[in-house]
Amino acid sequence: MFEHLTEPPDPYILVLMSFGVLIALVAWLPLVLRRLPLSLPIVCILIGVGLGLVPGLRFDPSPLEYPAIAERFSEFVVIIALMGAGLKIDRVLGLRSWMITWRLIFLTLPVGIALIALLAGTWLALPWTMALLLGAVLAPTDPVLASDVQVGPPKSGEEDEVRFALTSEAGINDGAAFPFVHLAIVLSAATVTQEPWFWDWLSYNVFWEIGVGVLGGYLIGKLFGWITFHIPAESKLAQTGDGLIALSATLISYGFTETLHSYGFLSVFVTALTFRQAHRDHDFHTDMHDLTEQVERIAMMILLLFFGGTLANGLLSALRPVDFAGALLILLVIRPVTGMIGLGGVNATLGERLTISFFGIRGIGSFYYLAYGLNHIDDLTHAPRLWAIVGLVVLLSIIMHGLTVTPIMRRLDITHGRDPDADDAVPPPGFQGPAA
């Protein structure tokens, strides 16, 4: 009997138990952290660091050792977040109604990419192709970690100008930055082959992949909207309340457009917006949003645990002293300045424009873009340093924005006449439990 009791537990059983603990933390931690200047991502990273420091555990999921897994897993987390972001936006898509978004996409994003690339190519002394890649990787606002400053669930009424701007920006700029990632890949290859590249890049990576991605997302959204809300049947899908249909739409939209060699990130967000337009006021959108939020949060927590494990095992060891200053410049100067440039003349208060410009959160999307870019570039000489710089920027962003999001957004709510401490108040976006 005692011999059996001293046997080590089955690793499979330990994994099951750990996954159960993870799900419990995902459900409970947001409620505990609701009024604290602390975010769920910070807690996830700390747990990951702790696991990485456990002797004998060897918890080191390094993206340098597992580049394909790093790309695919971060890709999955982002597309789930994009579907959730699209479903929760109440504002109807339009040129004027979304003007603040278009400014952030067509002004803030490209200027940010250019300034980060200039910083990396001069002060950080990276090759210009790697500098461009770094600019494309670090310029977009992350749709996953920016959930704390995004709009609330569908029809919740929590869609002020700040939350709408950051949600819609995060939904579009991941896809909008992809041509610049491909430009870095194309330029890296052209330095070796010396072949013409501009027309192929412009026609294929810009016009084709953006155009087909948007069109494919629209068609899939229309199809799912018609099947869900308008098919002539007594048992419509919307009446089942099964939010899994959102996950289905996400995967089909992404897979369909990727098979057509276009941008799946754009497609998923457009699918979500179009799906929402099919029946804007139906409660089924809330069911779909709740499920995608649960899946996104679990996947995000796992990825950030991995990130914490890599930090504990030396992900940042390739950093140079100048990289620390560069990371601070990206977060505290380049993003705020480019944000204010893009928002010049927008009908918003100075406080709102400063808040939008400050909360350009970097995160999971940056991991995906860097993994994708390096997996398509032959020369990986600078890969350790690039991962270290991106890891540092994401870490600083999570800490800086995580510690400030609660007081700043609470003050914003009070300014707009909402009492964040009221008993019946809806928790800020990103802090609702899975059953919210």
Taking only the tens place, the pLDDT of each residue in 175-191 is 899 999 999 999 998 88
* Mean pLDDT in residue range 338-351: 88
Return the higher-pLDDT residue of 258 and 232: 258
Highest average pLDDT, of 56-60, 285-289, 372-376, 431-435, comes from 372-376
Q: pLDDT (tens digit, 9 = 90+) per residue, 114-147?
A: 999 999 999 999 999 999 999 999 999 888 776 6
Does the pLDDT value for residue 234 go beyond 60? no
Please report the pLDDT score of residue 409 as a whole number.
80
Contacts of 338 (CB under 8 A, 6+ apart): 107, 108, 111, 112, 115, 357
Amino acid identity of residue 237, one-letter, is L
Confidence band, pLDDT 50/70/90 cuts, at residue 241: low
Half-sphere exposure of 349 (CA within 13 A, CB side): 9
State the Cα–Cα distance between residues 112 and 136, nearest whole angstrom: 9
Nearest one of 78, 69, 83 to 142, comparing CA atoms:
78
Please report the pLDDT score of residue 432 as a whole number.
37
Please report the pLDDT score of residue 89 as a whole number.
86
Does the pLDDT value for residue 243 go beyond 90? no
Confidence band, pLDDT 50/70/90 cuts, at residue 431: very low
User: Could you give the C-alpha distances from 373 to 81, 134, 177, 358, in angstroms and in order?
Assistant: 21, 10, 12, 27
63-417 maps to CATH 1.20.1530.20: yes
Please report the pLDDT score of residue 34 as a whole number.
62
Please report the pLDDT score of residue 222 as a whole number.
92
Nearest one of 83, 93, 114 to 266, comparing CA atoms:
83
* Mean pLDDT in residue range 185-199: 88
Lowest-confidence pick of 225-239, 255-269, 323-337, 406-420: 225-239
pTM confidence score: 0.88
Nearest one of 282, 284, 281, 280 to 292, comparing CA atoms:
284
CA angle 179, 271, 435 (to 5 degrees): 115
Nearest one of 165, 145, 34 to 89, comparing CA atoms:
165
Does the pLDDT value for residue 315 go beyond 60? yes
Residue % of the chain over a pLDDT of 90: 47
Please report the pLDDT score of residue 418 as a whole number.
64
Q: pLDDT (tens digit, 9 = 90+) per residue, 17-59?
A: 777 877 777 677 666 666 665 677 888 898 889 888 888 778 8
State the Cα–Cα distance between residues 352 and 325, nearest whole angstrom: 27
Does the pLDDT value for residue 271 go beyond 60? yes
State the Cα–Cα distance between residues 274 and 272, nearest whole angstrom: 6
Nearest one of 401, 361, 346 to 37, comparing CA atoms:
401
State the Cα–Cα distance between residues 1 and 354, nearest whole angstrom: 66
* Strands, E assignment, 89-214: none
Measured in residues, the chain has a length of 436
Burial class (CB within 10 angstroms; exposed 0-12, middle 13-18, buried 19+) of 94: exposed
Highest average pLDDT, of 64-78, 150-164, 351-365, comes from 64-78
Query: Both tokens of residue 113?
Result: 């990419």
Confidence band, pLDDT 50/70/90 cuts, at residue 276: confident
Please report the pLDDT score of residue 44 as a whole number.
85
Contact predicate 169/141, CB 8 Å = yes
